[in-house]
């Protein structure tokens, strides 16, 4: 198993960050299917202020 980590600073805009959170809370089944098809077995995202941390396992 491989693990990949990513850190991104999001735009300093509360409304845009709220939209980002909403999109990631309601992931479409097609997106999950496509991630699985390329070997991603798990993905977790944390948000601290406007900094996003993502951990993927493949």
State how many domains the chain has.
1
pLDDT digits (tens), the chain, 58 positions: 999 999 999 999 999 999 989 988 889 999 999 999 999 999 999 999 999 999 999 9
- Name 33's Cβ contacts closer than 8 Å, sequence gap at least 6: none
pTM summary value? 0.79
Task: Label the pairing between strands 3-9 and 42-48.
Answer: unpaired
What CATH number is attached to the domain comprising 36? 3.30.1070
Residues in the chain: 58
Domain that holds residue 14: 3-57
Per the DSSP assignment, residues forming a β-bridge with 43 are: 56
């Amino acid at each position: 198993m491989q693990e990949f980590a990513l850190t991104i600073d999001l735009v300093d805009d509360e409304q845009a960050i709220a939209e980002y959170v909403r999109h990631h809370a309601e992931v479409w089944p097609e997106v999950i299917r496509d991630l699985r098809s390329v070997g991603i077995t798990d993905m977790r995202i944390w948000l601290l202020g406007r900094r996003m941390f993502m951990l993927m396992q493949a």
